[in-house]
């Protein structure tokens, strides 16, 4: 909340010329994006928990069976590294597109409600609804793909861990 307030204060203390170069929806998006910082912390904490769980499971595997543990480690680490390298660029592109579509979506909202009188008089409601819907759809499509890419490694590691445990039970 404090960061959003500081950002708002910073924007409002800029000169008028500063505002001519940017779309007002971008300022709205930037202020709203500060709320995403809390979501970043939650993701970071989830990552820490996942790493600790992985280390605990690998430690347990090393205690129980060293050979299978090394095999699992040899499979998991390169797979994770390759996946990270593969999706890193894609996630960056998706993030940029999401910011762009979110700004367009907010711009259409601002324009719609800012000019509601003219929209009603000219009978342009359908046009603005369709414009908003298009950008909302593109934003949600990118968000869905981004979340899928982010969650996939977790399930993959859980499957590999379950298979590893089964292998240990079978070969002991």
* Tokens at 56, concatenated: 């605990």
* Tokens at 132, concatenated: 């908003």
* Tokens at 41, concatenated: 């912390």
Q: For residue 37, what pLDDT band results from cuts at 50, 70 and 90? A: low
Count the Cβ atoms, other than its own, within 10 Å of residue 101. Answer: 20
In this prediction, residue 141 carries a pLDDT of 92
DSSP state letters, 108-129: HHHHHHHTHHHHHHHT-HHHHH
Whether residue 72 contacts residue 160, with contact meaning beta carbons closer than 8 Å, is answered with: yes
Indicate the helix (H) or strand (E) that contains 172.
none
- When computed from its CA atoms, the radius of gyration of the chain, rounded to whole angstroms, is 24
Q: Which residue has the higher pLDDT, 169 or 59?
A: 59
Mean pLDDT value of segment 122-141: 87
Q: Is 23 helix (H, G, I), strand (E, B) or coil?
A: coil
Cite the DSSP H helix spans in the chain: 2-12, 16-20, 24-33, 36-64, 66-114, 116-122, 125-171
Q: Is residue 1 pLDDT above 60, yes or no?
A: no
Q: What is the residue-averaged pLDDT of the chain?
A: 79
| Separation CA 83–CA 6 (nearest Å) | 38
In this prediction, residue 135 carries a pLDDT of 87
pLDDT in tens, 60-89: 878 877 887 787 788 778 887 888 888 888
* Tokens at 45, concatenated: 């904490």
Mean pLDDT value of segment 97-116: 82
């Amino acid at each position: 909340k404090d960061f959003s307030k500081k950002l708002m204060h910073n924007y409002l203390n800029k000169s008028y010329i500063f505002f001519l170069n940017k779309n007002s929806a971008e300022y709205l998006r930037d202020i709203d994006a500060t709320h995403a910082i809390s979501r970043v912390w939650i993701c970071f904490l989830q990552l820490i928990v996942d790493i600790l769980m992985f280390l605990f499971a690998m430690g347990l595997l090393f205690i129980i069976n060293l050979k299978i543990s090394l095999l699992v480690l040899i499979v998991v680490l390169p797979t994770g590294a390759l996946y990270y390298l593969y999706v890193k660029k894609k996630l960056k592109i998706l993030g940029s597109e999401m910011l762009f579509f979110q700004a367009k979506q907010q711009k259409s909202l601002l324009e719609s409600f800012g000019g509601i009188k003219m929209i009603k008089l000219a009978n342009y409601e359908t046009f603005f609804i369709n414009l908003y819907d298009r950008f909302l759809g593109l934003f949600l499509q990118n968000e869905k793909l981004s979340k899928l890419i982010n969650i996939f490694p977790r399930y993959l590691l859980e499957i590999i861990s379950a298979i590893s445990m089964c292998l240990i039970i079978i070969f002991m």
